[in-house]
């Protein structure tokens, strides 16, 4: 990128660069611009200077501006933070005479500190956090397009090692197979196979034996013959399945490759007990959706638990372990809330509906201050209670399992921290799921953390994120861009590569994006609840009538605000919690600014509470006030219905279908969306969907094919896009049906829970094998992580606890 900058300052475009800088300085000489601001400013510059229409694409300066993510103006200096490609950043200091020099990360962080007047070199250096040395001994992905495909890389890496040094790796395979037990039952191989050479010999003998048997002969009928050869249960439930497993192992021994390695490891029965950690918010199966801090994550985790149990049962049956009484068990670890507000969140144990052995296990926070700990606690205030919570949860988990779990999966920042604490104590594989990293949602949240600390406590949360993401053996993301963004935007995890928390610490290298720990495994959608509106045989007429009444006609003022003048208009529908990022008030503004859209459509929202007196969440209160203000400002009475209801999950599925019956449209207007589960729910129901272009929806929706992108920061543009679609549907009756069909096809082909859990369990087995065979010395990293926990996280959490006690 220095060559491009050099080309600008050595050409006639040097004057344009100087004029552009002068334009920026007219609005103030001390400014911090992000990419959208920079592009808008450059567009204005091109217009003011009557540049050709393609100047921004064809000129060296235009290309430089395109790659610039941040621009910091000081009084006589300009700083460019350039992103020439995904997961790569360069920084330059440009002087008044347009000479320039590169900046180190440390120098850039100093500049950011100086911008907010928190640079104090006379007081000594700030604490630097650098994880890079701990990744130096790990295999690293080379090409950014392969980021998020860590398991593919690991399989190729391990199979190449197996090929290069067969004796060492076969020994590792033999030792790994010797490990596995279930409640004292030996699995896979027994003491008759004493080393890796004998393993190879016995595999061939066992293959010769099972090859002569009928393929459907049950394992129980040949169990003792296989035991004599050294093989215990776990290879398959029939002679045919056992033959397939042994053939894959035989091929792996003789001619290793990544496909056979993955196929073999995916069959090994080593995962039976799983903990899913979801601490914050109201976690339950009824009466929790729509409450503060509760939404898509609850749906995700419950559906994942059901699907995991089902997949584990299938795997156990295929492995031939059912006759031995092997049963999977899945625990969802959440917090017990004594003041349960009509939910079941005060119950220690609750069975997950539709499962045999999946449970919600609720553990309370210790009662340091019952006035606080007996109630729901915001996700921004939860931090002081998590360490002791993990200690208490460990005892409860081990009691429920009568032993240790095989896998712990954290959810969100707090759940991932608890997963780290549990995995560290139990020496168990840890997976992380972020759902959303707040750092990306709140612009400049790290730079202005001190001003935001009283409300959000980002210094604690971002430290917890650094701890958990580096400790995890595997990070599950829903999309590629969640990790490293797009060519024109930074990913959530990428934003942790380097940043400053002024006066607290500098993060020089916060995460290795090219680590094989990252894997894209999108969630699915519960097909029992969310299914096409056209599947009339699966719908209940009385439920349809009930939902119709609620959506369009009910006058119950405790649940609904607004009566529709013309309920027959096409419905625009959205459903989310009421907070700034979900931006439902932005959708109301978009609707209000388009009288034409109001002529064709009604706006129907299901969102949170209707009254500020009913909520203790400050953001929700602000959004409620803003909603009423916008309805009055644009005179939307008679054109909007706002439902402040918490629907049972089964009803929420019917809501989408009823909207589809009316040939409605789903709009997801979030300012940022990590994934977009409601988009999947709407699309599988058959609703044409308009989703935010900021975040995960970009990978779910294919624009103009099975849905549409919108920029929620441009309400007039969004309103026009929706209006264009509506008008086209009115002219061409089949247009709505065409998009509806494509939306359903998209979900069924890529976003089912069967796809998700099959991949997830395969990852768990492969990473388990990798951790065993790689002999990586993770202890040094874990000790470093513990230092951050005890020296930064814990004191700050303790200080927050003292504030809680004083309340």
CA distance 509 to 522: 27
Better pLDDT: 432 or 613:
432
Smallest CA-to-CA distance from 484 within 470, 476, 473, 495 is with 495
Task: Give me the mean pLDDT over the 775-779 stretch.
Answer: 75
CA distance 274 to 409: 8
Task: Give me the mean pLDDT over the 10-22 stretch.
Answer: 92
- Any bridge partners for residue 644, and if so which? none
Query: Is pLDDT above 90 for 698?
Result: no
Point out the least confidently predicted range of 30-34, 407-411, 700-704.
30-34
- Confidence bin at 486 (pLDDT 50/70/90): confident
Query: Is pLDDT above 90 for 677?
Result: no
> Are 273-481+757-806 and 536-751 the same fold in CATH?
yes
Per-residue exposure over 120-139, b if at least 16 CB sit within 10 Å of its own CB, e if not: eeeeeebeebebeebbeebb
Residue 17: the pLDDT is: 94
Contacts of 19 (CB under 8 A, 6+ apart): 45, 49
Residue with tokens 């293959």: 207
Smallest CA-to-CA distance from 643 within 606, 609, 602 is with 606
CB 466 within 8 A of CB 795: no
177-192 tens-digit pLDDT: 999 999 889 999 999 9
Phi, psi of 703 (to 5 degrees): -55, 130
Q: How many CB atoms lie within 10 A of CB 717?
A: 12
Q: How many CB atoms lie within 10 A of CB 89?
A: 18
Question: How many CA atoms are closer than 13 Å to the CA of 735, on its beta-carbon side?
Answer: 14
CB 177 within 8 A of CB 554: no
Residue 755: the pLDDT is: 92
Smallest CA-to-CA distance from 575 within 669, 439, 648, 505 is with 669
Contacts of 277 (CB under 8 A, 6+ apart): 333, 408, 409, 410, 411, 415, 416, 418, 419, 422
CB 701 within 8 A of CB 707: yes
Query: Is pLDDT above 90 for 163?
Result: no
Contacts of 151 (CB under 8 A, 6+ apart): 262, 516, 519, 762, 763, 766, 767
Distances (CA, A) of 71 to 36, 93, 96, 617, 745: 11, 10, 15, 35, 43
Query: Is pLDDT above 90 for 569?
Result: yes
Task: Give me the mean pLDDT over the 196-219 stretch.
Answer: 95
CA distance 521 to 477: 6
Query: Is pLDDT above 70 for 423?
Result: yes
Residue 772: the pLDDT is: 86
Task: Give me the mean pLDDT over the 785-797 stretch.
Answer: 98
Q: How many CB atoms lie within 10 A of CB 11?
A: 14
Query: Is pLDDT above 80 for 290?
Result: no
- Confidence bin at 315 (pLDDT 50/70/90): very high
Considering the entire predicted model, what is its pTM? 0.86
Query: Is pLDDT above 70 for 29?
Result: no
Residue 368: the pLDDT is: 74
Query: Is pLDDT above 80 for 30?
Result: no
152-178+189-231+235-265: which CATH number, 3.40.50.720, 3.40.50.920, 1.20.120.1230, 1.10.1510.10? 1.20.120.1230
Distances (CA, A) of 493 to 227, 456, 509: 48, 19, 12
Backbone angle region of 250, left / alpha / beta, with phi > 0 → left and psi within -120 to 50 → alpha:
alpha
* Residue extents of the structural domains in the chain: 2-103, 152-178+189-231+235-265, 273-481+757-806, 536-751
Smallest CA-to-CA distance from 585 within 610, 605, 615 is with 605
Residue 442's SS3 state is: coil
Residue 514: the pLDDT is: 97
Query: Is pLDDT above 80 for 634?
Result: yes
Query: Is pLDDT above 80 for 777?
Result: no
CB 603 within 8 A of CB 588: yes
- Any bridge partners for residue 474, and if so which? 431
Smallest CA-to-CA distance from 459 within 416, 408, 500, 498 is with 500
Residue 488: the pLDDT is: 82
Query: Is pLDDT above 90 for 73?
Result: yes
Query: Is pLDDT above 90 for 646?
Result: no
Cα distance between the two ends of the chain: 53
Q: Between β-strands 68-73 and 31-34, what pairing exists: parallel, antiparallel or unpaired?
A: antiparallel
Both tokens of 770, joined, read: 């990798």
Percent of the chain with pLDDT over 90: 78
Arithmetic mean of pLDDT over the chain: 93
- Confidence bin at 353 (pLDDT 50/70/90): very high
CATH of span 2-103 = 3.10.450.330
CA distance 327 to 309: 9
Task: Give me the mean pLDDT over the 559-575 stretch.
Answer: 95
Question: How many CA atoms are closer than 13 Å to the CA of 604, on its beta-carbon side?
Answer: 31
Task: Give me the mean pLDDT over the 435-455 stretch.
Answer: 92
Maximum CA extent, the chain: 87
Residue 167: the pLDDT is: 82
585-617 tens-digit pLDDT: 999 999 999 999 999 999 999 998 899 988 888
**Under CATH, domain 536-751 is a member of which superfamily?**
Glycogen Phosphorylase B; (3.40.50.2000)
Residue 56: the pLDDT is: 87
Task: Give me the mean pLDDT over the 309-337 stretch.
Answer: 96
**Does an H or E element contain 310, and which?**
helix 296-319
Both tokens of 519, joined, read: 């894997």
Residue 1: the pLDDT is: 66
Query: Is pLDDT above 70 for 776?
Result: no
Both tokens of 407, joined, read: 């896998």
273-481+757-806: which CATH number, 3.40.50.2000, 3.40.50.10490, 3.30.70.2740, 3.90.100.10? 3.40.50.2000
């Amino acid at each position: 990128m220095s060559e491009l900058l050099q080309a600008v300052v050595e050409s006639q475009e040097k004057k344009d660069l100087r004029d552009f800088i002068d334009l920026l300085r007219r609005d103030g000489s001390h400014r911090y611009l992000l990419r959208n601001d920079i592009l808008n400013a450059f567009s204005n510059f091109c217009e003011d200077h009557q540049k050709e229409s393609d100047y921004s694409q064809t000129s060296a300066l235009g290309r430089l501006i395109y790659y610039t993510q941040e621009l910091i103006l000081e009084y006589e200096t300009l700083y460019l933070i350039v992103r020439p490609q995904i997961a790569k950043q360069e920084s330059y200091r440009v002087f008044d005479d347009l000479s320039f020099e590169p900046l180190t990360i440390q120098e850039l962080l100093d500049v950011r500190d100086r911008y907010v007047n928190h640079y104090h070199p006379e007081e000594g250096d700030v604490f630097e956090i650098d994880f890079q040395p701990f990744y130096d001994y790990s295999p690293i992905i080379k090409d950014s397009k392969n980021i998020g495909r860590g398991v593919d890389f690991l399989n190729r890496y391990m199979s190449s090692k197996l090929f290069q040094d067969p004796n060492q790796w076969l020994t590792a395979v033999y030792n790994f197979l010797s490990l596995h037990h279930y409640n004292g039952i030996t699995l896979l191989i027994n003491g008759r196979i004493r080393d890796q050479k004998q393993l190879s010999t016995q595999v061939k003998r066992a293959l010769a034996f099972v090859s002569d048997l009928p393929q459907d002969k049950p394992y129980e009928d040949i169990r003792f013959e296989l035991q004599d050869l050294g093989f215990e249960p776990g290879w398959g439930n029939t002679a045919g399945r056992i033959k397939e497993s042994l053939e894959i192992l035989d091929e792996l021994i003789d001619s290793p490759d990544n496909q056979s390695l993955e196929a073999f490891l995916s069959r090994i029965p080593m995962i039976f007990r799983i903990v899913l950690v979801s601490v914050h918010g109201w976690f339950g199966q009824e009466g929790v959706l729509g409450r503060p801090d509760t939404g898509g994550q609850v749906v995700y985790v419950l559906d994942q638990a059901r699907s995991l149990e089902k997949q584990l049962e299938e795997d156990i049956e295929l492995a031939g372990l059912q006759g031995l009484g092997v049963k999977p068990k899945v625990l969802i670890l959440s917090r017990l809330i004594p003041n349960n507000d009509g939910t079941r969140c005060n119950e220690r144990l609750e069975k997950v509906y539709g499962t045999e052995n999946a449970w919600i296990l609720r553990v309370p926070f210790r009662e340091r201050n019952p006035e606080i700990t007996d109630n729901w606690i915001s996700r921004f205030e939860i931090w002081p209670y998590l360490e002791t919570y993990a200690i208490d949860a460990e005892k409860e988990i081990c009691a429920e399992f009568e032993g240790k779990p095989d896998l712990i999966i954290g959810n969100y920042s707090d759940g991932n921290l608890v997963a780290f604490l549990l995995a560290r104590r139990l020496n168990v594989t840890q997976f992380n799921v972020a759902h959303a990293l707040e750092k990306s949602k709140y612009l400049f949240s790290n730079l202005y953390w001190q001003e935001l600390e009283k409300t959000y406590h980002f210094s604690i949360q971002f430290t917890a994120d650094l701890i958990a993401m580096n400790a995890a053996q595997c990070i599950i993301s829903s999309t590629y861009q969640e990790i490293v963004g797009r060519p024109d935007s930074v990913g959530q995890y990428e934003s942790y590569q380097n940043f400053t928390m002024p006066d607290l610490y500098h993060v020089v290298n916060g995460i290795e994006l090219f680590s094989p720990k990252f894997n894209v495994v999108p969630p699915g959608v519960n097909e029992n609840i969310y299914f096409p509106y056209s599947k009339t045989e699966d719908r209940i007429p009385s439920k349809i009538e009930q939902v119709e009444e609620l959506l369009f006609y009910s006058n119950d003022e405790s649940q609904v605000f607004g009566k529709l003048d013309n309920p027959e208009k096409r419905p625009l529908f959205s459903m989310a919690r009421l907070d700034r990022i979900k931006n439902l008030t932005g959708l109301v503004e978009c609707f209000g600014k388009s009288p034409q859209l109001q002529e064709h459509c009604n706006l129907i929202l299901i969102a949170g509470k209707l009254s500020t007196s009913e909520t203790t969440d400050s953001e929700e209160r602000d959004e409620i006030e803003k909603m009423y203000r916008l309805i009055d400002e644009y005179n939307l009475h008679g054109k909007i219905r706002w439902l402040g209801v918490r629907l049972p999950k089964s009803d929420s599925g019917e809501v989408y279908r009823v909207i589809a019956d009316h040939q409605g449209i789903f709009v997801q207007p979030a300012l940022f969306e990590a994934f977009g589960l409601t988009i999947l729910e709407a699309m599988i129901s058959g609703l044409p969907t308009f989703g935010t272009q900021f975040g995960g929806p970009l990978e779910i929706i294919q624009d103009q094919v099975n849905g549409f992108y919108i920029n929620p920061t441009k309400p007039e543009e969004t309103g026009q896009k929706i209006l264009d679609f509506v008008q086209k549907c009115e002219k061409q009756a089949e247009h709505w049906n065409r998009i509806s069909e494509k939306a359903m096809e998209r979900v069924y082909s890529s976003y089912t829970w069967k796809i998700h859990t099959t991949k997830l369990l395969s990852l768990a087995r492969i990473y388990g094998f990798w951790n065993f065979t790689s002999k990586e010395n993770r202890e040094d990293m874990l000790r470093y992580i513990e230092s951050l926990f005890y020296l930064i996280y814990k004191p700050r959490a303790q200080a927050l606890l003292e504030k809680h006690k004083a309340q």
